[in-house]
Structure 1
Amino acid sequence: MNLRKLDLNLLLVFDAIYAEASITRAAKKLGITQPALSNALRRLRDHLGDPLFEREGHGVAPTPEARRLAPGIQTALRSIDRVVSRAEDFDPASGAREFSVIVPDALEPLLMPALLNAASREAPNVTFVMRPLFAAGIEQPLCDKTVDLGFYLEAIDNEDIQSSFVTAMPICVAVRADHPVYRTKESFTAEDLCEAGFVVIDSGLRKMTRIEQAIQARGLSRRVVCAAPRIWSLPYIVAETDLVATVPRVLGEYLAPKLNLKLFDVPFDLPNQDWYMVWHKDFDLDPAHVWLRRQVLALFHDA
């Protein structure tokens, strides 16, 4: 394929059809007529030697070759958009941008409502797509620049990735408020920790947690009854059982009144969870990205 002969506007046509799964909707999205879009698609098909999209129901479906091409085309278009946007100032009041972010469960109640409210007031055309943290981890999507911003429990040791400390989060013990053993207690002791049945996170995405390290360092052990894949599961299981859990205090305080939970301090000194904001260095001077990072830092500073 000779890239010099490819009209790059045809990639916008591909992206619109792939996203909308409809020639009519794609033409409307691009602000062109349906015949003009069909003509552009014909040119792209001729250039790539593949039908790319075939009729299915009331719309179109991508061919295997189109599915193969789509991630690379989407990444290329996002990169071009960012390069062009650097030459312009970002005006939050009128500027449009979609940010792809990875926000771990523990930070969602602290960050996302406040960030969405701030964007609604100051940048009404800014939108967010929250991405899951896949088994491959956070580093690869940051390096691929398919994610604009993420949050992680440590600075990332990669010369292409920037890391900025945002908050230190204490851990607490959560039980249901009417728990038969702990409802009248004022504190949660090391003996309680050894005797209680725990629900914990079981995730291939994390190393041994700091509380597990602290427990083992004291020659103690806890009885794990249930391992759940997400930290959000823990408070809900605790609320309906006699199990207990250790969770970030901000998450415990957010859910305690909703689920009728009682929170205790951990019965020994435990380092806080240090959270970092992480992004690819290519976004350092991106005006919209700078605006986003400033919003995040302000929200954590005011929290």
Structure 2
Amino acid sequence: MNLAAVDLNLLVAFEALMEERNVTRAGRRIGLAQPSMSSALTRLRALFGDELFIRTAAGMQPTARALALARPIGEALSQIRETLAPDTGFEPATARRRMTIAVTDYGDLVVVPALVSLLRQEAPGIDLVVRPIADPAASLAALERGDVDALIGGHLPESARTVRHRLFEEDFVCIRDEDRAAEGAPLTADDYVRLPHALFSSAGGDGSPGVVDAVLAMEGRKRRIAVTLAHVVAVPFAVAGTDLVATMARRVATRFATIAGVTLVPLPYEVPAFAIDLLHSRRATTDPALTWFLATIERVGRSL
């Protein structure tokens, strides 16, 4: 392909179409009337030899070729914008800005307190709004629309229109009442399935089978869920003073061990760790304040 013959504005149009999935909205986003945007799509199809976007009842759906192009084109445009953007001299210590993030319960308990502490030290003029991730798909859509600046948590959905950074990995531990845990040896595999369990399930009921239950099933075993709780912070307090056992993320359990009166004990089964990720829009690199904020979240992740 002769790069001299490629109109860079076509790549901008491609990015807008990928994010909006609608010709009219994509055109409005980059300042083109609907006929001009349709013409850009026609030229894009000729350039890449593919339909790229197919009109359906749900909007313009990208083809496999378009999905494959989304990340490299987005990264290339981000680098160009970053190179051409003027130096605004962003100063965290004096900046005034509001940042909005959406987090899982885990992110709220583990990442947010450390982030707040760092912001108060280094950028006291930046206000932070924290929203819950109740519906991951809805939160991802809010990120893509620009309603939130970042998502933080585990098991976040994939999207070609966002950038994902691994903050750290988390593993699981068991918690028991501190007096019962001190009575004897560490929890055995038999003890684990014999004792009643407390479980956090934001969905209610006894929750859908999770990674722990999948591991037990491979061993031909099953645990009894005696208590199901709607808030993860309630779990250690329910375990304290009872015969219950619970499986929790290590960093969350550590935060509550002393104040709840529980002890951390090793999980007697090999349960895979899970990743805590940061998701943000590809457009973040064009905003010095947001770039700094995201880097700050990554710094927090490295410190945990």
Query: Shorter chain as normaliser: what TM range?
Result: 0.5 to 0.7
SS in 1 for 2:286: coil
SS in 2 for 1:276: strand
Question: Structure 2 CA distance, aligned partners of 1:284 and 1:228?
Answer: 40
Aligned partners of 1:167 and 1:274 also within 8 Å: yes
How far 1:123 moved relative to its partner?
0.6
Residue 182 of structure 2 is aligned to residue 170 of structure 1:
no
SS in 1 for 2:220: coil
For the structure 1 residues 158 and 287, does the alpha-carbon distance in structure 2 shift closer, same or farther, using more than 3 Å as the test?
Answer: same
Aligned partners of 1:200 and 1:227 also within 8 Å: yes
State the Cα deviation string for residues 178-198 of structure 1 (Å, max 9, x = none). 23xx43133111111111111
Residue 123 of structure 2 is aligned to residue 123 of structure 1:
yes
Match of 1:40 in 2: none
Match of 2:108 in 1: 108
Match of 1:296 in 2: 297
Question: Structure 2 CA distance, aligned partners of 1:213 and 1:201?
Answer: 16
Question: Structure 2 CA distance, aligned partners of 1:193 and 1:288?
Answer: 48
Aligned partners of 1:135 and 1:204 also within 8 Å: no
Match of 1:192 in 2: 191
Which amino acid counterpart does residue 110 of structure 1 have in structure 2? V
* Worse-matched range after superposition: 288-297 or 127-136: 127-136
Q: Percent identity?
A: 20
Question: Structure 2 CA distance, aligned partners of 1:213 and 1:171?
Answer: 14
Residue 299 of structure 2 is aligned to residue 281 of structure 1:
no
Q: Give the 5 Å matches for 1:53-92.
A: 88-92=88-92
Question: Structure 1 CA distance, aligned partners of 2:106 and 2:234?
Answer: 11
Match of 1:94 in 2: 94
Structure 1: gaps spanning 5 or more residues: 1-82
Q: Give the 5 Å matches for 1:1-303.
A: 88-135=88-135, 137=137, 138-154=139-155, 156-179=157-180, 182-204=181-203, 208-303=209-304
SS in 2 for 1:131: strand
Which amino acid counterpart does residue 214 of structure 1 have in structure 2? V
Question: Structure 2 CA distance, aligned partners of 1:151 and 1:267?
Answer: 29
For the structure 1 residues 296 and 258, does the alpha-carbon distance in structure 2 shift closer, same or farther, using more than 3 Å as the test?
Answer: same
How far 1:244 moved relative to its partner?
1.4
How far 1:227 moved relative to its partner?
1.6
Question: Structure 1 CA distance, aligned partners of 2:300 and 2:124?
Answer: 18
Aligned partners of 2:104 and 2:134 also within 8 Å: no
How far 1:250 moved relative to its partner?
0.7
For the structure 1 residues 136 and 117, does the alpha-carbon distance in structure 2 shift closer, same or farther, using more than 3 Å as the test?
Answer: closer
Question: Structure 1 CA distance, aligned partners of 2:163 and 2:231?
Answer: 26
Question: Structure 2 CA distance, aligned partners of 1:204 and 1:279?
Answer: 26
* TM-score, L = length of structure 2: 0.66
State the Cα deviation string for residues 260-290 of structure 1 (Å, max 9, x = none). 1111111022211211111122223321111
For the structure 1 residues 229 and 284, does the alpha-carbon distance in structure 2 shift closer, same or farther, using more than 3 Å as the test?
Answer: farther
State the Cα deviation string for residues 100-159 of structure 1 (Å, max 9, x = none). 112222233432222112111211101111101223643222122211111132363211
For the structure 1 residues 105 and 159, does the alpha-carbon distance in structure 2 shift closer, same or farther, using more than 3 Å as the test?
Answer: same
* Worse-matched range after superposition: 152-161 or 139-148: 152-161
Which amino acid counterpart does residue 297 of structure 1 have in structure 2? E
Question: Structure 2 CA distance, aligned partners of 1:259 and 1:164?
Answer: 33
How far 1:207 moved relative to its partner?
6.3
Question: Structure 1 CA distance, aligned partners of 2:241 and 2:150?
Answer: 35
Question: Structure 2 CA distance, aligned partners of 1:271 and 1:289?
Answer: 33
For the structure 1 residues 104 and 136, does the alpha-carbon distance in structure 2 shift closer, same or farther, using more than 3 Å as the test?
Answer: closer
Aligned residues, how many?
Answer: 217
For the structure 1 residues 252 and 229, does the alpha-carbon distance in structure 2 shift closer, same or farther, using more than 3 Å as the test?
Answer: same
Which amino acid counterpart does residue 193 of structure 1 have in structure 2? Y
* Worse-matched range after superposition: 291-300 or 87-96: 87-96
For the structure 1 residues 149 and 198, does the alpha-carbon distance in structure 2 shift closer, same or farther, using more than 3 Å as the test?
Answer: same
* TM-score, L = length of structure 1: 0.66
Aligned partners of 1:174 and 1:235 also within 8 Å: yes
For the structure 1 residues 164 and 155, does the alpha-carbon distance in structure 2 shift closer, same or farther, using more than 3 Å as the test?
Answer: farther
